């Protein structure tokens, strides 16, 4: 299959990668996309590293066998810090992009020299994260918060929730960072991008909210250009000719209404399990 006919895949433990797919789709309107939520493996945050690595390797292998892909985005900070290098070694030459906490731009933007990072427990306790902080935010005090409750809220209750409930869900993280003097907050779990607006509203003028969507999209575009001679070499498909972008789940349960709701909200076809 011609590279330009293959979809770009985004994967996460659940629905966290969807806002990343949405931004990439804006930048690459002629590409097709597939999304894989590892429903059966959710949540990654509290699991041991070896379990997460095995999961990610297994489901990426299954996805690759099901659909020929143009590129893969690990739209999950937890999976990226553990498995990105392993996957790159297993699929040499195949374009794979990971999601790294936006600690560098946060450190550059902080006037107080204090930044808050909200992520999964796995991410904020990883040796990789220590290295990232040392190399990209050495001059800052970095406050770390693993917030499994917020991950769970997004995955299970977000779609049915109203504004007040969403604001209440982000409040503990914002309050704790502000009371410890942070003036920049990094959303370092992809799930939290679903409540980006609520973080901005809750922090008000006291803290800037930073994330990695822009950086990941940019890296994807660059890598596609470097990997394929010309990213726009095909006669571009019209919207009508384009196959619908699809969402897959892991596990044997039916495609539950929650995931159908996310698929609809992000204009994806609920395409079953892999
Ligand atoms: N969305 C994920 C991340 O960026 C992980 C959430 C979870 O499964 O705990 O880290």
Tell me, in angstroms, the distance from the centre of ligand 1 to residue 164's CA.
23
Tell me, in angstroms, the distance from the centre of ligand 1 to residue 101's CA.
12
The closest-lying atom of ligand 1 relative to the alpha carbon of residue 78 is 10
Which are the contacts of 105, defined by CB distance < 8 A and separation ≥ 6?
210, 215
- What residues does 186 pair with on adjacent strands? 117, 210
| Residue 246, H or E segment | strand 246-249
Question: 110 in ligand 1 pocket by Cβ < 6 Å?
Answer: no
pLDDT given at position 241 = 67
pLDDT given at position 238 = 55
Question: 45 in ligand 1 pocket by Cβ < 6 Å?
Answer: yes
As a whole number of angstroms, the distance between CA 88 and CA 110 comes to 33
Tell me, in angstroms, the distance from the centre of ligand 1 to residue 118's CA.
11
Which are the contacts of 115, defined by CB distance < 8 A and separation ≥ 6?
103, 106, 107, 137, 140, 141, 142, 143, 182, 183, 184, 185, 186
Q: How far is CA 141 from CA 6, 100, 125, 174, 180, in A?
A: 44, 19, 16, 16, 10
As a whole number of angstroms, the distance between CA 259 and CA 272 comes to 10
As a whole number of angstroms, the distance between CA 242 and CA 202 comes to 40
Question: 217 in ligand 1 pocket by Cβ < 6 Å?
Answer: no
Equal fold, 3-99+214-273 vs 103-211 = yes
Looking up tokens 């892909």 gives 69
User: Which among 138, 98, 87, 86 has a CA at the least distance from the CA of 115?
Assistant: 138
As a whole number of angstroms, the distance between CA 213 and CA 221 comes to 12
By DSSP bridging, strand 246-249 and strand 184-187 are: unpaired
CATH code of 3-99+214-273, in short, is 3.40.50.1860
As a whole number of angstroms, the distance between CA 258 and CA 60 comes to 23
pTM to 2 decimals? 0.95
The closest-lying atom of ligand 1 relative to the alpha carbon of residue 75 is 4
Q: How far is CA 144 from CA 111, 116, 133, 195, in A?
A: 18, 6, 11, 19
pLDDT given at position 4 = 77
The three-state secondary structure class of 141 is: strand
pLDDT given at position 240 = 53
Catalytic sites, residue numbers:
76, 189
> Looking at the domain 103-211, which fold is it?
Rossmann fold (3.40.50)
Q: Considering Cα of 110, then 116, then 117, then 118, what sign does the dihedral take?
A: negative
User: Which among 74, 53, 104 has a CA at the least distance from the CA of 8?
Assistant: 74
Tell me, in angstroms, the distance from the centre of ligand 1 to residue 255's CA.
20
**Segments making up each domain of the chain, as ranges:** 3-99+214-273, 103-211
Q: What is the pLDDT along the chain (274 residues), one digit of tens a residue?
A: 777 789 999 999 999 999 999 999 999 999 999 999 999 999 999 999 999 999 999 999 999 999 999 999 999 999 999 999 999 999 999 999 999 999 999 999 999 999 999 999 999 999 999 999 999 999 999 999 999 999 999 999 999 999 999 999 999 999 999 999 999 999 999 999 999 999 999 999 999 999 999 999 999 999 999 999 754 545 555 555 677 999 999 999 999 999 999 999 999 999 999 9
The three-state secondary structure class of 212 is: coil
As a whole number of angstroms, the distance between CA 42 and CA 151 comes to 10
Length of the chain: 274
pLDDT given at position 233 = 47
By DSSP bridging, strand 208-210 and strand 114-119 are: unpaired
Question: 55 in ligand 1 pocket by Cβ < 6 Å?
Answer: no
The closest-lying atom of ligand 1 relative to the alpha carbon of residue 192 is 1
pLDDT given at position 237 = 53
């Amino acid at each position: 299959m011609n590279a330009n006919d293959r979809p770009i895949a985004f994967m996460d433990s659940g629905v966290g990668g969807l806002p990343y797919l949405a931004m990439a789709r804006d930048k690459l309107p002629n590409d097709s996309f597939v999304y894989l939520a590892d429903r059966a493996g959710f949540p990654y945050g509290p699991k041991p590293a070896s379990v997460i690595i095995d999961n990610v390797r297994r489901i990426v292998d299954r996805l690759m066998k099901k659909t020929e892909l143009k590129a893969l985005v690990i739209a999950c900070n937890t999976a990226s810090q553990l498995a990105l290098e392993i996957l790159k070694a297993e699929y040499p030459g195949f374009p794979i992009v990971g999601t790294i906490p936006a600690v560098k731009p946060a450190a550059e933007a902080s006037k107080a020299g204090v930044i808050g990072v909200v992520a999964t427990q796995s991410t904020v306790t990883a040796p990789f994260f220590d290295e990232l902080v040392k190399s990209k935010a050495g001059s800052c005090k970095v406050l770390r918060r693993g917030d499994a409750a917020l991950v769970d809220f997004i995955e299970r209750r977000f779609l049915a929730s109203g504004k007040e409930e969403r604001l209440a869900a982000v409040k503990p993280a914002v309050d704790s960072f502000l009371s410890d003097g942070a003036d920049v907050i990094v959303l370092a779990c992809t799930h939290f991008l679903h409540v980006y607006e609520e973080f901005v509203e809750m922090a008000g003028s006291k803290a800037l909210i930073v994330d990695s969507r822009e950086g990941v999209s940019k890296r994807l575009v660059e890598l596609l250009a470097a990997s394929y001679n010309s990213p726009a070499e095909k006669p571009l498909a019209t919207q009508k000719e384009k196959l619908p972008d699809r969402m897959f789940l892991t596990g044997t349960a039916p495609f539950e209404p929650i995931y159908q709701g996310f698929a609809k909200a992000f204009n994806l076809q609920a395409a079953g399990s892999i």
